[in-house]
Amino acid sequence: MDQQKLDQMRSTLNKLEDIKNSQESILDKINHVITDLFQHPDKDLEKAMEEAHQRASDNTDAIREAMEDYEMRINKLETQD
């Protein structure tokens, strides 16, 4: 296996990890807003935050799945040597 290709794939995997961490941070921030809304209710903002939370959660799941698949591909290439 071409070491340069493996290094590039590992670099991409690291970037995916960074994206996943950013998405998780967004989820955390949305959760803080939702929690604040318990003190100061706003139905429209609550609805928007719930929708944003769902989209961010879906994105996190999609990225996690892509990372798992990509990591399996990397591992498979490494064992072919």
C-alpha span between 29 and 10 (Å, rounded): 29
Q: Cα–Cα distance between 35 and 73 in angstroms, integer?
A: 40
Residue whose tokens read 């493996």 = 6
Give residue 19's pLDDT.
97
| pLDDT class of 80 with cuts at 50, 70, 90 | confident
The pair of structure tokens assigned to 26 is: 């967004």
Is the pLDDT score of 59 beyond 90?
yes
Domain that includes residue 13, residue range: 3-79
Q: Is the pLDDT of residue 81 over 70?
A: no
Alpha-carbon gap, residue 48 to 57, rounded angstroms: 14
Is residue 71 very low, low, confident or very high in pLDDT (cuts 50, 70, 90)? very high
Measure the CA–CA gap between 22 and 7, rounded to whole angstroms.
23
Tally of domains within the chain: 1
Per-residue pLDDT for 76 more than 90? yes
| pTM score above 0.75 | yes
Distance CA 50, CA 27 (A): 10
